[in-house]
Structure 1
Amino acid sequence: MGILDSLQQDKILIADGAMGTLLYSYGSDCCFEELNLSQPNQIYNIHKAYLNAGANLIQTNTYAANYHKLERYGLQDQVKEINSAAVRLAKRAVADHPDAHVVGTIGGIRAIKPEAIPLEEIKRTFREQLYCLLLEGVDGILLETFYDLEELETVLQIARKETDLPIIAQVSLQEVGYLQNRVHITDALNRLESLGADIVGLNCRLGPYHMISTLEEVSIPKTAYLSAYPNASLPSYVDGKLEYDSDADYFKETALAFRDQGVRLIGGCCGTTPAHIKAFSDALEGVAPLKEKQVKRKERTIILPSSKKKDVPTPLFEKAKKQQSIIVELDPPRKLNTDKFMAGAKALKDAGIDALTLADNSLASPRVCNTALGSIVKSDIGLRPLIHITCRDRNLIGLQSHLMGLHQLGIHDVLAVTGDPTKVGDFPGASSVYDVTSFGLINMIKQFNQGVSLSGKELGERTSFSVGAAFNPNVRIIDKAVERLEKKIDAGADYFISQPVFSEEKLLEVYQATKHIEAPIYIGIMPLTSSRNANFLHHEVPGIKLTPQVLEVMNRHQDDPQQASLEGLNIAKGLLDAALELFNGIYLITPFMRYELTVELANYAKKYGPFHSSRRVQNV
């Protein structure tokens, strides 16, 4: 009798619980799927423990047995061996349990970072694992722990095309009732059912309480069945290890509540053990499944515009589309005294710049918090701050908190950057987080503008961020850089700030390569201060290249710092002359807190570079 035959006979199937939790508690802290080869008896005994606890559907130990995840351990060439061994172990375990079934498990890859891996790569690695499981003769396929609905729909269609076996498709939620992209659970399960899933439901992330609350909004499917695999509880972190502290009696108490929501396949996820599964089995023994239910319709929240909307100035990029716009970078200081920084900000405000940009621990070296300084600049000087946000120093929790704080401070202009690796900074041994890259951060900020966090949770109101992105034109093949720029536009970037450019030829090349793009580009101009400064930038700073002519001029005055500084300023003015013919946006970069240089350049741009449509180069 197959899985669907059992369900058609009005049975509630009991699935197994966590595999990784038990292996972790036994002291295993490695690739759990590899243990199919090196510790087969351990895996077999866990299967037997769940079967003896009352499970009549067990899953293979293959959740992460795909090329992409095995590659972390150097095991990417053992996909077939690991998956094949897993199925054989599970089938051996059910040999003396005639009513038990084995499903081949395939877990989601993207988790809460949709951009982490392209769909084409997901398709390739999924097919490889799927074929391995099918060749070994599983009774069905379990697709579990999918946070990204697009990924699950993609692999479900592949699986449905390749096999007629039962397919279980389960999503994981960040919030009661919603996936991370704000798709409601009812819509998600309906879409999975329409794509051919035989059983649809939830697993992981939520414990019984919140999972039942979510299922209250879900109708019993017309052609599929409902499943639920709750976590045991929220984990705690004790002595360097994750621990779950939920007793099995609680699962026994909730079993009938799951049944009353129409669940026909029930098991456990993180933190669950054979004791939890026995609790479900004992509580549901002889209990008939529910065929009809009253759905609790919960009011869906309307996300309101920001209460601070009236305080939001016209976005910088809108100005740069039509007329001159000058922004200046003034790096927060490395030391606690900020007097010179504030004096520089005041001088630049008097020069009439549109915004002061503040880097986020540039070159991976700690500086005074740019958000704190930006807030002071805004309140005390009346100058608009543009805050850089790097992915290097904050995980997703910290990034979201940071954005929420910026919103509360009324700071709406941000630049999303991946960030220099810690290896280049003062603490080369520090961790680089990189939960997301600049692409993911741009997308995250744009979701905030819709009133939704990256996890899919509502923020209560919409933010009003203008999102800038970095653009490095100092490459051999400009078309590649422009392709990356275009991808950032697709992610939601409103405008771009470029690395400094040190030749008129490069300025013209950038203009020609980007003139089809509507998003404004603030072209970077940085005055050189000395021969050493020029050579350091050219040879050691990523993304910056000087021409041989500029290096020659600066090296000519290596023994005369004052003259070298004047030459650097003159070079910058010459570049400004060329840039003003081509771009509305100018981005002046202040070297070594020498704000008098960027003040002079800002005044020069305003005096000698007024923007008139007659001056703009239309077709060079």
Structure 2
Amino acid sequence: MNLLDTLKTNVLTADGAMGTMLYSYGIDFCYEELNVEKPDIIEKIHQEYISAGTDIIQTNTYSANAIKLARYGLEDRVKDFNEAAIQIAKRAAAPGGQFVLGTIGGIRGIRKSDASLDEIIRFVQEQAEVLLAGNPDGLLLETYYDFEELSSVVTHLRRLTDTPIIAQVSMHEPGVLQNGISLNDALHQLEATGADVVGVNCRLGPHHTIQAFEGVTPPKTAFLSAAPNASLLDIEDGRIVYVDEADYFGRAAVLLRDEGVRLIGGCCGTTPKHIKAVKQRIADLPPIVNKIVKVPKPIVIQEADPRKNEPLHEKVKRERSIIVELDTPRHLNTQKFLEGADVLYQAGADAVTMADNSLASPRICNTAMGSILKHANNVRPLVHITCRDRNLIGLQSHLMGLDALGIHDILAITGDPTKVGDFPGAASVYDVSSLELLQLIKQLNEGISFSGKPLQKKANFSVAAAFNPNVRVIERAVKRLEKKIECGADYFITQPVYSKEKIIEIHEATKHIETPIYIGIMPLTNIRNAEFLHHEVPGIKLSDEVLERMRKHGDDKQQSAKEGLQIAKELIDTAAQLFNGIYIITPFLRYDLSLELIQHVQAIDAKKEGMATHV
């Protein structure tokens, strides 16, 4: 009898964690390599689970794809590791007739940019073909946080084979995936896509896994599966540990069976003891055909608070818009900063924008200064957020705080690496890139947290993204810009541009794009400033003409600043003809320079308006 026929009349026990067992042995290198180098260890673990009473074992191939093996320089060993794994599992299962599943693990977490769907499908197929050649009883797709990835993989594998497919999602929160879709909807969509068994594994312990299944209606043809973690994880003396309550895990298996689950195993922290407890508890229990589904309370998400200002990306589509960057101080004296921000805003800037520790050097928190500007000075702040300094917890907390403060204009950027700043030994976080950050911010605008949990109210962020046109092949930069639009960018702010030709090139390369662009203009103060920007700051390049013009004035501060202003004005003359958005970057808190440039933009517009009126 095959796996699916057996599930029609039985509740089956699957094995527990392979990784937990290997971790307990002190093994800290590529687990999949053991299939070839130490197959006796893998077979021994299979035998331990079989002795505990499991009906199903899975191959030691969770990370045996080219993407994950590349971490160890083993990406060319996909065939070796998968082929050996299926042979080991088959050999271990032969005496007792246990079913063998070929395991394929999820690749993406939050970071979609780690691998494209095309890459994932290509590498999954490479792995699956080797496993299928070993004639497994099914393919197990487990620990998929990204539902788009899992759906795509199931669709592709269904076309490739008639072998049973078990598709398991992972949740951060009980009953909901990280994109906000309910577990019930996700499992039914997987069934419709072609999965034969649908379920859950990893991240959550038994309690929350049971809770998640309470709202799941039984699929029409597919069966349900569950493999909870042993418990929530803990850290002791630097090692990951789980509560070792095997009997509790066995009792929980009965409750999972009561929710209609027919395939019950274990994930992280589970051992043969846990699986033995499961088998003892459910061995003689028939599957549940009908169950009472707990109807979840309707989720009410309030609309976002109304904005007091028109979003910048809406205004700039229609008319001139000027934003001015004024970096917060690297010291604790804020007087000049606050004075400058007030002067620039009163002069006509639509917002004062503040970097998030630019060049990885600590400054006064832009959220704190933004709040002061907004609430004490009535100045509209636009704050930058980098992925460098905060993990996912910190990023979401930070954004929720901004919403609570009423700061809704933000620029999402990856951020300069710490090695360029004051503390080169500090850790760079980069849990996500700017692409994922854009998507996550837009998810908050739907009232959904990064984990998929409802937030009771929608945020109301207008999100800018960075655009660096100072590259040799601008078409590549535009491709990245287009990806950011797909991820939710409302408008773009460029790096400083230092040639009229580059501004024209930007216009020609982006004229097919409706998303607005603010052209960055930063006045130079002297030749040393110019050469530092040109030679040392990533993403900024000056033309030979600009460098020569600044070089002529040597150490004459007054004439150098005057020349820098003149260059900036000439650039604005070109930019203002082609773009509504002008982004003025203030050097060294010299807000007098930015003030003069604001007035120059206004003079251009006044002249244009006067000519139009005269005509």
TM-score where L is the length of structure 1: 0.96
Q: Describe the superposition over 1:522-561 as per-residue Cα deviations: whole angstroms up to 9, x where unpaired.
A: 1111110001111111111111111111111101111322
What residue number does 2:109 align with?
111
For 1:461-480, list aligned pairs within 5 A: 461-480=457-476
* Secondary structure in 2 matching 1:141: strand
What residue number does 2:77 align with?
78
Rounded Cα–Cα distance in structure 1 between residues aligned with 2:291 and 2:306: 47
From 576, 581, 586, the equivalent of 1:580 is 576
1:405 has 2:404 as partner? no
- Tell me, yes or no, if the aligned pair for 2:111 and 2:433 is still in contact at 8 Å: no
What residue number does 1:49 align with?
48
From 353, 357, 361, the equivalent of 1:361 is 357
For 1:486-501, list aligned pairs within 5 A: 486-501=482-497
AA in 2 matched with 1:69: K
AA in 2 matched with 1:120: D
Rounded Cα–Cα distance in structure 2 between residues aligned with 1:336 and 1:264: 62
Q: Describe the superposition over 1:369-419 as per-residue Cα deviations: whole angstroms up to 9, x where unpaired.
A: 111111111112111000001111111111111100100110000001111
* Secondary structure in 2 matching 1:335: coil
* Secondary structure in 2 matching 1:441: helix
For 1:228-247, list aligned pairs within 5 A: 228-247=226-245
* Secondary structure in 1 matching 2:606: coil
- Tell me, yes or no, if the aligned pair for 2:500 and 2:574 is still in contact at 8 Å: yes
1:438 CA drift (Å): 1.0
- Tell me, yes or no, if the aligned pair for 1:168 and 1:197 is still in contact at 8 Å: yes
For these two proteins, the number of residue pairs brought into alignment is 612
Rounded Cα–Cα distance in structure 2 between residues aligned with 1:577 and 1:252: 74
What residue number does 2:13 align with?
14
1:371 has 2:367 as partner? yes
Q: Which moves more between the two structures, 127-136 or 33-42?
A: 33-42
What residue number does 2:545 align with?
549
Rounded Cα–Cα distance in structure 1 between residues aligned with 2:109 and 2:434: 18
* Secondary structure in 2 matching 1:610: helix
- Tell me, yes or no, if the aligned pair for 2:110 and 2:432 is still in contact at 8 Å: no
What residue number does 1:69 align with?
68
Rounded Cα–Cα distance in structure 2 between residues aligned with 1:497 and 1:7: 57
What residue number does 1:527 align with?
523
1:507 CA drift (Å): 1.6
* Secondary structure in 2 matching 1:7: helix
1:426 has 2:422 as partner? yes
AA in 2 matched with 1:554: M
% identical aligned pairs: 59
1:221 has 2:219 as partner? yes
From 174, 185, 188, the equivalent of 1:187 is 185
Q: Structure 1 residues 383, 272: CA separation in 2 closer, same or farther (over 3 Å shift)?
A: same
Q: Which moves more between the two structures, 174-183 or 395-404?
A: 174-183
- Tell me, yes or no, if the aligned pair for 1:207 and 1:230 is still in contact at 8 Å: yes
- Tell me, yes or no, if the aligned pair for 2:322 and 2:582 is still in contact at 8 Å: yes
Q: Which moves more between the two structures, 523-532 or 450-459?
A: 450-459
1:509 has 2:492 as partner? no
1:611 CA drift (Å): 7.9
AA in 2 matched with 1:180: Q
- Tell me, yes or no, if the aligned pair for 2:253 and 2:281 is still in contact at 8 Å: yes
Rounded Cα–Cα distance in structure 2 between residues aligned with 1:429 and 1:403: 27
1:334 CA drift (Å): 1.6
1:312 CA drift (Å): 3.7
AA in 1 matched with 2:168: Q
From 384, 392, 397, the equivalent of 1:396 is 392
Q: Describe the superposition over 1:330-374 as per-residue Cα deviations: whole angstroms up to 9, x where unpaired.
A: 111222222221222122123221111000111111111111111
Structure 1: which 5+ residue stretches go unaligned?
Answer: none
What residue number does 1:436 align with?
432
What residue number does 1:142 align with?
140
Rounded Cα–Cα distance in structure 1 between residues aligned with 2:225 and 2:596: 68
What residue number does 1:268 align with?
266
Rounded Cα–Cα distance in structure 1 between residues aligned with 2:535 and 2:88: 57
- Tell me, yes or no, if the aligned pair for 1:105 and 1:144 is still in contact at 8 Å: yes
AA in 2 matched with 1:5: D
What residue number does 1:447 align with?
443
AA in 2 matched with 1:78: R
- Tell me, yes or no, if the aligned pair for 1:581 and 1:615 is still in contact at 8 Å: no
1:597 has 2:568 as partner? no
* Secondary structure in 2 matching 1:310: coil
Q: Which moves more between the two structures, 411-420 or 486-495?
A: 486-495
Rounded Cα–Cα distance in structure 2 between residues aligned with 1:230 and 1:2: 25
Q: Structure 1 residues 588, 405: CA separation in 2 closer, same or farther (over 3 Å shift)?
A: same
1:590 CA drift (Å): 0.7
AA in 1 matched with 2:124: F
Rounded Cα–Cα distance in structure 2 between residues aligned with 1:414 and 1:224: 45
1:613 CA drift (Å): 7.4
Q: Which moves more between the two structures, 509-518 or 214-223?
A: 509-518
Q: Describe the superposition over 1:28-63 as per-residue Cα deviations: whole angstroms up to 9, x where unpaired.
A: 222111122222222111111111111010000100
Q: Which moves more between the two structures, 273-282 or 468-477?
A: 468-477
Q: Which moves more between the two structures, 38-47 or 436-445?
A: 38-47
Rounded Cα–Cα distance in structure 1 between residues aligned with 2:54 and 2:610: 78
1:317 CA drift (Å): 1.6
Q: Structure 1 residues 395, 45: CA separation in 2 closer, same or farther (over 3 Å shift)?
A: same
Rounded Cα–Cα distance in structure 2 between residues aligned with 1:614 and 1:106: 68
- Tell me, yes or no, if the aligned pair for 2:110 and 2:436 is still in contact at 8 Å: no
Q: Structure 1 residues 615, 326: CA separation in 2 closer, same or farther (over 3 Å shift)?
A: farther
- Tell me, yes or no, if the aligned pair for 2:325 and 2:584 is still in contact at 8 Å: yes
Rounded Cα–Cα distance in structure 1 between residues aligned with 2:313 and 2:195: 46
Rounded Cα–Cα distance in structure 2 between residues aligned with 1:158 and 1:523: 43
What residue number does 1:485 align with?
481
1:135 CA drift (Å): 1.3
Q: Structure 1 residues 243, 604: CA separation in 2 closer, same or farther (over 3 Å shift)?
A: same
What residue number does 2:86 align with?
87
AA in 2 matched with 1:150: E
From 556, 563, 588, the equivalent of 1:560 is 556
- Tell me, yes or no, if the aligned pair for 1:139 and 1:165 is still in contact at 8 Å: yes
- Tell me, yes or no, if the aligned pair for 2:526 and 2:555 is still in contact at 8 Å: no
Structure 2: which 5+ residue stretches go unaligned?
Answer: none
1:105 CA drift (Å): 0.3
Rounded Cα–Cα distance in structure 1 between residues aligned with 2:480 and 2:506: 14
AA in 2 matched with 1:510: I
Rounded Cα–Cα distance in structure 1 between residues aligned with 2:56 and 2:211: 25
TM-score where L is the length of structure 2: 0.97
Rounded Cα–Cα distance in structure 2 between residues aligned with 1:28 and 1:404: 40
Rounded Cα–Cα distance in structure 2 between residues aligned with 1:611 and 1:487: 37
AA in 1 matched with 2:77: Q
Q: Describe the superposition over 1:198-243 as per-residue Cα deviations: whole angstroms up to 9, x where unpaired.
A: 2111111111111111111112222111111111111011221111
Rounded Cα–Cα distance in structure 2 between residues aligned with 1:183 and 1:116: 22
* Secondary structure in 2 matching 1:562: helix
Rounded Cα–Cα distance in structure 2 between residues aligned with 1:211 and 1:568: 63
* Secondary structure in 2 matching 1:522: strand
Q: Describe the superposition over 1:154-201 as per-residue Cα deviations: whole angstroms up to 9, x where unpaired.
A: 111222222222211111112222111122222211121122222111
Cα RMSD (Å): 1.6
* Secondary structure in 2 matching 1:407: helix
Rounded Cα–Cα distance in structure 2 between residues aligned with 1:504 and 1:361: 29
Q: Describe the superposition over 1:112-137 as per-residue Cα deviations: whole angstroms up to 9, x where unpaired.
A: 33333111000110001001111122
Q: Structure 1 residues 25, 304: CA separation in 2 closer, same or farther (over 3 Å shift)?
A: same
- Tell me, yes or no, if the aligned pair for 1:580 and 1:611 is still in contact at 8 Å: no
* Secondary structure in 2 matching 1:381: coil
1:609 has 2:590 as partner? no
AA in 2 matched with 1:160: R
AA in 2 matched with 1:4: L
